[in-house]
Chains A and B, each alone.
Chain A
Amino acid sequence: MSGPEGATDGQVVRAILAGDTERYGVLVTRYRDRYARYAARMLGSRDAAEDAVQDAFVRAYDQLAQCRDPDNFVGWFFLILRNRCFAERRKSKDVAPLEAAGAIAAAERAEGPVEADERRRALQHALLELTPEQREVFVLKHVEGLSYGEIAERLKTSVPSLKMRMHRAYDRLREQLKDRP
């Protein structure tokens, strides 16, 4: 994978490990936004996501000698970010708690921009109620647009177990978003 600088990830990593440490900036710029959306949907907050991505880049720098496949730096970086997202404490949810009943009932009426926004927030709120594993498979498929096969390869798991996780997520989301008495 090469970028505007022309050098492949592997070339840049090897140069850094050989002592040209300033070149880490190439990798950071190259992948700065690659998983920003994934982190934002996993953590429910843009600010928390920015912290997580920043931390992951610092950690990746510290552990760069451990990167087994420097040509796939981005895949290895994703795993570091993923571990960081899973470890994130949810001290407070930035997404404002909503009356979810009202949010989905809006779909019965004509949908304007305010209703659409409320429904987005209701779903993000509901996503945060899932386990990190359930939320992740949902985000990778329905936000990042990966196929089950691609997700399975990235997470080193099987398609059937991903589907089981996802189908539980669908049910829990439905439960969260239904009218509450």
Chain B
Amino acid sequence: MSGNNFHPQVKQLLDGEITLADLPPALRAEGEEALRLLAAVDREPVMFPGLDTRVLAKLRRRADSPSFWRRLVTPREVRLRVRPWTLVPAFAAALALVLVLVRPAPTPATSAVTVRFVLFAPDAHDVSLAGTFNQWDPAATPLVRTGSSGVWSATLILPAGQHQYAFVVDGARWVADPGAPAVDDGFGRRNSVLSL
């Protein structure tokens, strides 16, 4: 909402391109508010004495031969067992929904679309979304549990185009969206496809 946005000139002030004196009188108060915000920035240096000792100790502990050199960190192998979620039959068809909430009128310029991702997973402790839009980072986009019905959701604004994604349940289970088109991900699992 524009009521909460700083005036563009105040943003120039924040960027350090102009000074408070350069602002028109009507914007002075907002400029002072902006400068108070910057004054609250914590610029204290941070130091970690002893961290170098700990890093070297950790590396030495991992070495199991006199030559010390370990070339590879063996990646974890994640075994995914996708179990059918226990559901009331009425909900079986609505395991997951991707609701395209706002589709802007087709224009030549690239547009962004608001998308709501929903997963019904009552036994999960946490659920997140990983895909091409967030570098497949399972930590970047957590879903939020809404109410006590076992429904998890998140709303994202995504650029128009094609995206692939999957839900990550409890940090380890990668689950494709049962309600969406699915493709082989090349690793023995399926990714969901979203076209905006």
Contacts and interface: CB of A to CB of B under 8 A. Distances in A.
Q: Is the interface of A mostly helix, strand, loop or mixed?
A: helix
A150 to B, nearest CB: 13
Nearest to B39: A119
A13 interface: no
Interface in B60-99: 67-73
A33 B48 contact: yes
Given A120-B40, A170-B6, A171-B4, A86 B137 contact: yes
B45 A33 contact: yes
A142 B45 contact: no
Nearest to A19: B69
B184 interface: no
Contacts of B26: none
A63 B98 CA distance: 39
Contacts of A61: 59
Q: What bracket does the count of chain B residues touching chain A fall in?
A: 35 or more
A30 B55 CA distance: 13
A58 B45 contact: no
Interface of A: 19, 21-22, 24-25, 28-29, 32-33, 36-37, 39-41, 46, 49-50, 53-54, 57-59, 61-62, 65, 86-89, 104, 107, 116, 119-120, 122-124, 132, 141-143, 148, 163, 166-167, 170-171, 173-175, 177-178
A132 B40 CA distance: 19
Contacts of A124: 42
B48 A25 contact: no
B44 interface: yes
Contacts of A142: 38, 41
8 contacts: A37-B45, A39-B46, A50-B51, A53-B48, A62-B73, A132-B140, A163-B15, A171-B5
A24 B140 contact: no
Interface hub of B47, B52, B137 (most chain A Cβ within 10 A): B52
A36 B6 contact: no
Given A28-B52, A33-B47, A61-B59, A123 B40 contact: yes
B196 to A, nearest CB: 19
Given A29-B52, A86-B140, A40 B37 contact: no
